[in-house]
Chains A and B, each alone.
Chain A
Amino acid sequence: GENVEQHPSTLSVQEGDSAVIKCTYSDSASNYFPWYKQELGKGPQLIIDIRSNVGEKKDQRIAVTLNKTAKHFSLHITETQPEDSAVYFCAASWGAQKLVFGQGTRLTINP
């Protein structure tokens, strides 16, 4: 079955700097790759997603890139702000099937 690896497990950046989180997946059949932000005590909140027919997608300060050949995808957050501090999860699925999540990255933005 699918396996998703996520790195780093913790990331600390200065406010205003960029943050990058990377994930690799094992199943070449996976075609949908969402990213979720989770704050303490809350459910995961979708922040951006990408499908396998696209190599890059951007939404304001957030961008995701996908390399199907290497089976990895990355989340890029620019101009980080204190409210970006949270745990971020990548995931992979085939169509509307179950999501397989990475282990999470705890992002801390230092003022």
Chain B
Amino acid sequence: DTGVSQDPRHKITKRGQNVTFRCDPISEHNRLYWYRQTLGQGPEFLTYFQNEAQLEKSRLLSDRFSAERPKGSFSTLEIQRTEQGDSAMYLCASSKADTQYFGPGTRLTVL
């Protein structure tokens, strides 16, 4: 296993711009999760896929956020019209059972 990978690792954008992040899970992991982590806090759940089906979305996921996993492999998380409050580390995890393995994260800074 090569582990969960995320791209980009860092993103700096201006308020109002759209950004998209990608997550590649561990191969054969059918579950993929997105979390958000702000400084000094634990990760907070955003959304979860089993294969290509999005099974749960947090109330944290406003309508400016959208996530997809079109072929049940990689996933993208898009944030439209970014706000300064969106600045955080966006973490992706994958699993084939209950154990979740995390990627390195994408750090988003909104100026």
Residues of A participating in the B interface, judged by any CB pair closer than 8 Å: 6, 32, 34, 36, 41-46, 49, 51, 89, 91, 93, 95-104
Please indicate the chain A residues that have their CB under 8 angstroms from the CB of B58 in the complex: 98
Please determine whether A95 and B98 come into contact, CB atoms closer than 8 angstroms: yes
B44 located at the interface, meaning its Cβ lies under 8 Å from any Cβ of chain A in the complex:
yes
B31 located at the interface, meaning its Cβ lies under 8 Å from any Cβ of chain A in the complex:
yes
Please indicate the chain A residues that have their CB under 8 angstroms from the CB of B105 in the complex: 42-43
Number of A-B contacts (CB under 8 A): 56
- Would you mind naming 26 contact pairs between A and B with Cβ atoms under 8 Å apart? A6-B42, A32-B98, A34-B99, A36-B102, A41-B107, A42-B105, A43-B91, A43-B103, A43-B104, A44-B102, A46-B99, A46-B101, A89-B42, A89-B43, A96-B31, A96-B97, A98-B45, A98-B48, A98-B56, A98-B58, A99-B35, A99-B43, A100-B45, A103-B41, A103-B42, A104-B40
Please determine whether B102 and A43 come into contact, CB atoms closer than 8 angstroms: yes
Please determine whether A99 and B56 come into contact, CB atoms closer than 8 angstroms: no
Please determine whether A34 and B42 come into contact, CB atoms closer than 8 angstroms: no
Residues of B participating in the A interface, judged by any CB pair closer than 8 Å: 4, 31, 33, 35, 40-45, 48, 56, 58, 91, 93, 95, 97-105, 107
Q: How far is the CA of A36 from the CA of B35 in the complex (A)?
A: 14
What is the distance, in angstroms, from B74's C-beta to the closest C-beta of chain A? 17
Please determine whether A93 and B41 come into contact, CB atoms closer than 8 angstroms: no
* Contact for B41 among A41, A91, A100, A104, CB less than 8 A: A104
Q: How far is the CA of A36 from the CA of B91 in the complex (A)?
A: 13
Q: How far is the CA of A49 from the CA of B101 in the complex (A)?
A: 12
Q: How far is the CA of A98 from the CA of B34 in the complex (A)?
A: 9
